[in-house]
Amino acid sequence: MAADPVSSATQQRADELKGEANKYFGQAQYAQAIAVYSDAIELSPSAVLYSNRAFAHLRTEAFGLAIEDARKALALDPRYVKAYYRLGSAYVALNKYRHALKVFKQLAKLAPKDRDVRTKLTLCEKEVKRAAFEAAIAVEAPKPLSETLDLDSMTIPDNYEGPRLGDGDEVTADFISGMLDWMRDEKLLPKRIVASVLVQLKRILASLPSLVDVDIPEDEQTYMSVLGDTHGQFYDLLNIFKINDRPSPTRPYLWNGDLCDRGSWSFETTFTAFAYKVLYPQSVFINRGNHETQNMNKMYGFEGEVMKKYDANIMALFTECFRTLPYAHVIEKKVLVVHGGLFKDDGVKLDDIRKIPRGGEPPESGIGSDILWSDPQPFNGRGPSKRGVGLSFGPDITERFLKDNNLDLVIRSHEVREEGFLEEHDGKLITVFSAPNYCDQMGNKGALIRFRKNNMKPDPVTFEAVPHPDLKPMAYASNLGMFGL
């Protein structure tokens, strides 16, 4: 159905708003771009405006909204090529390759000579075939690499002058101290050392439940620090250690997921947390985030980075560790820490979280998906997720969950906050995000949340971004070639 005609003055104003929104987009101010595109759409809806807004939604990982806008664009102009790109890209981001394949097949009919379209179509075909092959051989899956890798056959180069593990490949405080200095100078650890640490970590994680209970030591000088997303911003992580001290039995840390992707030192950021977990298994804790998943690692840079710096075996070990990370921690029986948020259904108990299966990729639905992907909303009830997976949940949902489980607070991450943290849902939920000036573009502060045993009152600490070497975010990302248009 064609849109009602608009006056020339209205169309002129819509075009002005489009130009303004495009400028915001070019400055990576995606929220402002979305708002202004929306104003333009109110005046004069068009395929271009919906497609542009879909692109902005893609950049904020609001994949569900991107799909919705791309479909609206195609309803107005079924031959609008960029809308097909947006739609296919969103499906790829959600690991829905069969849907993406249909989109790119349609696009190939519109642009049969476009080499980029053919490349994307081929990529989707390969992913669909790969998924079918993996499903077919699932019953005959080989043993994990962590159980079969011959570490003794791996050698450290004679000219290596960096930090070394202790006797028996023990991770020591001296090793980590030297490792941080070594990696700060953009030097690589030998593959033998990396593999040994990851194998040790996998064994530690495999012994844990999907929800881990954490007690803070009685010492009045001890506090637990909860970090939100760090997303490969290694130099900001080093600054956190400078501000807050390094992890230790008197400075326990809980990383709340999304250690990797986007930032171009994702190996260093993730391996630092993992090495500390091996050194202090009773004082360092790590939740799985939605970016500790295979599909996100393919798209947002971690796999490309590890393959550039190491090889497929090291990436396979990281994937094993990601698949074995817990989904939640409860601090002092009062504070639940999860990456994304709460659940589609009422009545979820902590024991249900403890029983979430691990060892593979998260399911597309259910509490194992909700806990990684959901976001809070300011009004009561539940709503569809802007991301196309998980849900939006209101203050009443948070209050009910806390009451049902005798908890006081939910800490979650998963979203940028201007000050690095934000109290929401009447103070019963806090979002914490620890990657300042996210992707070198957002201008936000980072934050962490401290807790002491004696009162368990959340104590936020904020910080600004620090300089890093001249390497842009997403330097290793492939995005399957999808998001550049």
Instruction: Give catalytic residues, as residue numbers.
Output: 291
Q: Is 430 helix (H, G, I), strand (E, B) or coil?
A: strand
CA angle 17, 22, 26 (to 5 degrees): 150
The tokens describing 157, both together, are 């180069």
Phi, psi of 64, rounded to the nearest 5 degrees: -65, -45
The tokens describing 298, both together, are 């393919």
CA distance linking residue 142 with residue 159, whole number of Å = 35
- DSSP line for 109-159: HH-TT-HHHHHHHHHHHHHHHHHHHHHHTGGGPPPPHHHH--GGG----TT
CA distance linking residue 240 with residue 234, whole number of Å = 10
Q: Is 214 helix (H, G, I), strand (E, B) or coil?
A: strand
Q: Are strands 224-227 and 253-256 parallel, antiparallel or unpaired?
A: parallel
CA angle 384, 322, 329 (to 5 degrees): 70
Neighbours of 196 (CB within 10 A): 21
- 121, 331, 357, 372 from 410: Cα distances, Å: 42, 10, 22, 14
CA distance linking residue 297 with residue 313, whole number of Å = 15
CA distance linking residue 407 with residue 156, whole number of Å = 49
CA distance linking residue 388 with residue 68, whole number of Å = 9
Using alpha carbons, select from 53, 126, 130 the residue that is nearest to residue 90: 53
CA angle 370, 71, 121 (to 5 degrees): 85
Q: What helix, strand, coil percent values describe the chain, rounded to 5?
A: 50, 10, 40
CA distance linking residue 111 with residue 231, whole number of Å = 36
Contact between 382 and 392 under an 8 Å Cβ cutoff? The reply is yes
Q: What is the DSSP letter of 169?
A: G
